[in-house]
Amino acid sequence: MGELLLPGSFDETLAALVRGLSAGRMLRVVNFHATPSYRREEYRKQFAAYAGLFTPITPDNFASAFDGTWSDPRPGLMPVLFEGFRDNVDVMLPVLEEFGFKGWFFVPSAFPAVVPAIQRSYAKAHKLHLPKRDEYPDERVVMTWDEGRSIAARGHGFACHSRSHFELTPETPDHVLWDEIHTAANEMRAGLGQPAEIFCWLHGAEAGVNPRADAMLREAGFRYLFSNFKVQRLA
Amino acid sequence: MINFSLPPLPVEEVDARLADMDRLGSRDYAEIGVPMFLVAEDLTGQSPRPVIHDGSGRILAMLLAEGVEALRLRRPDLGADDIARLIEALADRHFLSLATPAFSRAADLHPVEAA
């Protein structure tokens, strides 16, 4: 885990979480990063188990999963795939589709455009952790925007994971925020052919950690912020 | 109104939960699926819709609060990482079990009624 920042005191955060949970306002997510093929059977077994208990959260029903108007007797499940790695497309996507789930791809918007020859060094420099065993020697390790558009057209979800896999702090200057939020929003829109409504910082800072960032996220059209403990509706 | 409180967690159970948190935290997060519960919070100022739910959220809320109190006895200076580890441990233990339907609503256990 990284360095988690809270907007208030520990007790304030805990009280908000206890209130939210006790009111039944929660989403169930499963967080993934790299999904190498040598773990394919592990992923298949897990989603076979999930399929018997959960209903997929999709871009079409996300709002009802969020606001408590979810009507399916089974709870919703949101598989979140961080970083936009190629193996999310090659390995996990077929598993999700086999069991009827929709993936939610949280992509740092600059990553797909990095040329393949330097994707590994970009990943290393930006805390994007590739699997222990390189399954694509001399090839790209990031999904392409062509793949992204195809995946989105099949009903899967996308979120903007900042531009450069950036960790927000209270002191982050405005010009950096602009790049990590507005430029990222533009790159997601250009890459996918549709806007991303969900945003998430590296290490999951929540609203209130940097109020200038919160205002800019709203200005850029983001409606939801995913953080370590919460999904927050911004607009 | 009934006024009650639960007895504190036995020392052995606190130890076991801490050991479980350490075990979970030592995994290779880069390649595995990690279930988590996220609280939905509306910051738009709209009145939240009432949620009809099965009580699983209240169970989690109670377990989280109880876990924090137990952990605080060992280490008073808890931080955000501790909340993350506690919720991760709760999800590891209860993600599947709290999604299991009520016995009487599990259609495959009651084929005659379902027919």
pLDDT tens digit string along A214-223?
999 999 999 9
A229 phi and psi angles, rounded to 5 deg: -120, -10
Q: How many CA atoms lie within 13 A of A124 on its CB side?
A: 5
Q: What is the mean pLDDT of residues A148-162?
A: 98
User: In B, which residues are within 8 Å of A66 by CB distance?
Assistant: 40
Q: What is the pLDDT of residue A181?
A: 98
Q: Distance between CA atoms of A230 and A216, rounded to whole angstroms?
A: 19
Q: Residue ranges of the domains in chain A?
A: 28-233
- Which of B27, B41, B83 would best serve as a mutation to test chain A binding (most A beta carbons within 10 A)? B41
How does DSSP classify residue A37?
Answer: G
Find, in chain B, the residue whose alpha carbon is nearest to that of A80: B33
- B80: three-class secondary structure by DSSP: helix
| Greater pLDDT, B110 or A196 | A196
Closest CA to A222 of A209, A207, A208, A235: A235
Q: Within a 10 A sphere around the Cβ of A48, how many other Cβ atoms?
A: 12
| Predicted confidence (pLDDT) at residue A208 exceeds the cutoff of 80 | yes
pLDDT tens digit string along B15-51?
999 999 999 999 989 999 999 999 999 999 988 777 7
Topology of domain A28-233 in CATH is TIM Barrel (3.20.20)
Give the minimum alpha-carbon distance from B67 to chain A in angstroms, rounded to a whole number. 11
User: Assign residue B2 a region: left if phi > 0, alpha if psi is -120 to 50, beta otherwise?
Assistant: beta
A105 phi and psi angles, rounded to 5 deg: -95, 115
Find, in chain B, the residue whose alpha carbon is nearest to that of A17: B39
Q: Distance between CA atoms of A146 and B31, rounded to whole angstroms?
A: 24
Instruction: Judge: A20–B33 Cβ closer than 8 Å, yes or no.
Output: no
Q: What is the dihedral of CA B80, A33, A40, B101, to 10 degrees?
A: 50
- Name A183's Cβ contacts closer than 8 Å, sequence gap at least 6: A109, A163
Q: Distance between CA atoms of A71 and A40, rounded to whole angstroms?
A: 32
B57 touches chain A (CB under 8 A): yes
Give the minimum alpha-carbon distance from A104 to chain B in angstroms, rounded to a whole number. 13
Percent of chain B with pLDDT over 90: 62
CB A7 within 8 A of CB A206: yes
Closest CA to A29 of B11, B54, B43, B99: B99
Q: Distance between CA atoms of A164 and A92, rounded to whole angstroms?
A: 23
A20 touches chain B (CB under 8 A): yes
User: Which residues, in sequence order, are bridge partners of residue A26?
Assistant: B39
pLDDT tens digit string along A67-97?
888 888 899 999 999 999 999 999 999 999 9
Q: Distance between CA atoms of A136 and A89, rounded to whole angstroms?
A: 13
Alpha helices by DSSP H, A161-224: 174-178, 184-192, 211-219
Q: What is the pLDDT of residue A30?
A: 98
Distances (CA, A) of B111 to A37, A73, B104, B115: 39, 18, 11, 6
pLDDT tens digit string along B69-81?
999 988 889 999 9
Q: What is the pLDDT of residue B95?
A: 97
Instruction: Judge: A229–B39 Cβ closer than 8 Å, yes or no.
Output: yes
